[in-house]
Structure 1
Amino acid sequence: MRWKLISQDTERTYALVLAEGDEVVSTIEAFAREHKLTASRLSAIGALCQVGLGYFDWDKKDYLPIDFDEQLKVLSLLGDLALHEDAPKLHAHVVLGRRDGSTCGGHLMRATVRPTLEVLLVESPAHLRRAFDPASGLPLIHIES
């Protein structure tokens, strides 16, 4: 992965270019740890293969897996980074395009880049923290009043 700081007015903005073979979630979370990012938003486009998505089943309080072993275009990848147990945790949703023009999407669990993923990562000036939500069983962003 290559990266460049492209702005640092009130928010630092990074452009990350993930390379073929990079695992998306772990690479972005490692970058966030290294640069001490505690709250950020991101968007990305590119292409992936070997993708694992999830669809949250409210009754089971767990993600149902949706796996793809094909070349897919990233039409939209949106998400955020917030602290969970003192480490940055990526929460992202993705819409993927298939060869026939159909789309699929869900919560991004894992994915391998092929050939590139271009990410814009914008750090927020204040940190965000995730806390366990008993109703959903998920670590959700907690905003203190």
Structure 2
Amino acid sequence: MNYRKIDDIYLLCLQEGEKVISSIENFVKFEGINSGFFWAVGAVRNVELGIFDIDDKDYIKAIFKDYYEIVSCHGNISMDPDTQNPVIHTHISIADKDFRLYGGHLFEAEVTVTFEMVLFPVAVPIIRNINPKFNLKLWKVI
């Protein structure tokens, strides 16, 4: 990964073979970023996506092993108050070589060509607390 800070904004570029979510987690820990928003473009493979099943209160997951173009990727960074670790909440849409689209919650993906991201940190902490109805840690805006 290479990156540059311009004023309060970060430009990140992940390289071939890097893992998207774990790289973002390591970066925000290193830079001390607790909350923020980001957008990205690029290309990935071995994409693990999920759709939340409201009835079962768990994710239905699928892995897409081929290579894919990122059509849209955005997310937010917040903190888990129990672990004090950042939570990288990311949604992605990907297209295959036949122009079919897939999308959902991004658990992880591997960069094939590039992953170009702009990150906007925010000073106000965004905290996640358990929502018992869904058994998920969701935003608690204070």
TM-score (norm 1): 0.94
Partner in structure 2 of residue 118 of structure 1:
116
Which letter does structure 2 place at the counterpart of 1:4? R
Segments of structure 1 that go 5 or more residues without pairing to the other structure are none
How far 1:101 moved relative to its partner?
Answer: 1.1
* Structure 2 residue 9 is the aligned partner of structure 1 residue 22: no
Q: Would you say 1:102 and 2:100 are equivalent positions?
A: yes
Alignment match, 1:36: 32
- How far did residue 123 of structure 1 move? 0.3
Residues in 1 aligned to 2:9 and 2:130: alpha-carbon distance in whole angstroms: 29
| 2:48 equivalent to 1:52 | yes
Alignment partner of 2:56: what SS? coil
Determine the structure 1 residue equivalent to 2:77.
81
Note if 1:72 corresponds to 2:73: no
Percent identity of equivalent pairs? 31
- Runs of 5+ unmatched residues, structure 2: none
Secondary structure of 2:55's partner? coil
Separation of aligned partners in 1, 2:133 and 2:6? 40
1:66 Cα shift? 1.5
- C-alpha distance in 1, partners of 2:70/2:27? 20
Runs of 4+ in 1 over 6 A off after TM superposition: none
Shift of residue 125, structure 1, vs aligned partner: 2.0
